Amino acid sequence: MRTTNAVGQYGEDLAARHLVDNGFTILDRNWRCAQGEIDIVAREGHTLVVCEVKTRRGLNYGSPLESITYRKLSTLRQLVGRWLQAHEVRPDEIRIDAVSVLLPHQGAPSVDHVRGVA
């Protein structure tokens, strides 16, 4: 596995743990279809939450959240519809969140969860 893939996977594992620790139920991870991939699908109460996870090892290229583009958010909106069709789920509410994971060279990783980014 390439280093960037390993860092990304580690970041997604930390993000999933953070969500569970904060009362979310993980429904799916790394769900793929022809249009793209959803990192994490979770439930918080009656709300379906789709999470985009971005992990970085430093801030040389900006924060992880800065790398989530309008185009990515637009794709995520489409992917939510595909996921709902594939799973025949009809949630009361749907929300797209972002989870930023920063893995500094020294010290503990930090996880920042931003609700309702799209």
- pLDDT tens-place values along the chain, 118 residues long: 566 788 889 999 999 999 999 999 999 999 999 999 999 999 999 999 999 999 998 777 778 888 899 999 999 999 999 999 999 889 999 999 999 999 988 889 999 999 999 8
The boundaries of the domain holding residue 9 are 3-114
**Any bridge partners for residue 54, and if so which?**
100
pTM of the predicted model, to two decimals? 0.92
Structural domains in the chain (count)? 1
Q: How far is CA 11 from CA 74, 81, 110, in A?
A: 22, 25, 10
For residue 71, give the 3-state DSSP assignment. helix
d(CA 10, CA 102): 11
Strand order in 110-114's β-sheet?
25-33, 36-44, 47-56, 93-102, 110-114
